[in-house]
Amino acid sequence: MAKIVCVLYPDPVDGFPPKYARDGIPAVTGYPDGQTTPTPEAVDFTPGELLGSVSGELGLRTFLEERGHTLVVTSDKEGPDSELERELADADVVISQPFWPAYLSKARIAKAPNLKLAITAGIGSDHVDLDAAIERGMTVAEVTYSNSISVAEHAVMQILALVRNYLPSHQWARDGGWNIADCVANAYDLEGMNVGVIAAGRIGVAVLRRLAPFDVKLHYTDKRRLPRETEEELGLTYHPDARALARAVDVVSIHCPLHPETEGLFDEKLIGEMKRGSYIINTARAQIVDQDAVTAALKSGQLAGYAGDVWYPQPPPADHPWRTAPHNGMTPHVSGTTPSAQARYAAGTREILEDYLAQRPIRDEYLIVDGGSLAGTGATSYTAGTGTAPGVSA
């Protein structure tokens, strides 16, 4: 029998379950590339429920305990005395979410001799030391595509919120004011602007498609150029690297993985080369930008706005400079954990567990590490042997 440790974010402050705004969510059965949504044998939850917090348990307890397995669910994950640290000693499986990551460092993996599988409930597995996982012979899996569209919608929302100066305008209304000049002095039409994405994978392409109707000029950069028909359909301009794109656009939306080539990519120099009054939206990983350089650029006016939902560390300290920087539209790491997304990544987590516990192959598109090497999606998203360790991710 297996011991599964599941690290989830805390319940709502007013208790669990919350009062839901809607009675259900739309049924989604497939993704734009033809991949099907998760297909577990069954689920023990109602789609639209809060599954990502501790009491939601990803809907896994009945499934696991009826089969004799042990499930430990906790939000206590930091430090040597945390519940995660204590439970790792004899854990076979660790499940974590990017929004409340259980950082599986090389040292933690070494303390968990039974650990065979790390599952990301969602997408983005850079909170796991992939090199250490490869060395151990572990499997690392994530629920690919489960929340990609959720993140894309959040990025488009934040682009509009920054460019139209929505948050300060809303605050004037909340505070009883009617300060039209103050609201519109920093508000612009998105129409006609140059907007670019860094990395045109599932999320990046979804952002491009959602922005096309706004009559903007679309740009992208990626190691793998998109098919010509996609470029022509969306009117895309390709750039060979992030620097060339950043210099050419008014808005940058970041969607690349964090690895040594992208860490600190948007530093003081690159931000200084952008048009004055540019905007950056980052729903990828916090350390792709230099925290201090972004803060300074917001204060000087080099950046007209910065938004996103990724921080380092997560959760960030109360005095993190992005909490109070001018012209920021930051949120907690929530873009990929809507109840809609939770229904998919909870079902996908169960699908992975069903296959693993029955000793069946896990879907190739879910795999990041398997058989002592990068595999599946991981083979195209990460690079082994180049410091793919947690502690540099957000």
77/360 Cα distance (integer angstroms): 30
Q: What is the set of active-site residues?
A: 147, 285, 314, 333
Written as one string, the DSSP assignment of 166-206 is: HHHHHHHHHTT---HHHHHTT----TT-EEEEE--SHHHHH
Task: Determine what percent of the chain falls in helix, strand and coil, rounding each to the nearest 5.
Answer: 35, 15, 50
Residue in 125, 118, 117, 161 with CA at minimum distance from that of residue 146:
125
Residue in 204, 147, 144 with CA at minimum distance from that of residue 377:
144
330/56 Cα distance (integer angstroms): 26
How big is the CA angle at 288 (ends 252 and 283), to the nearest 5 degrees? 55
DSSP tag of 286: G
149/228 Cα distance (integer angstroms): 23
**Mapping DSSP to helix (H, G, I), strand (E, B) and coil, where does residue 255 land?**
coil
| Whether 342 contacts 356, CB under 8 Å | no
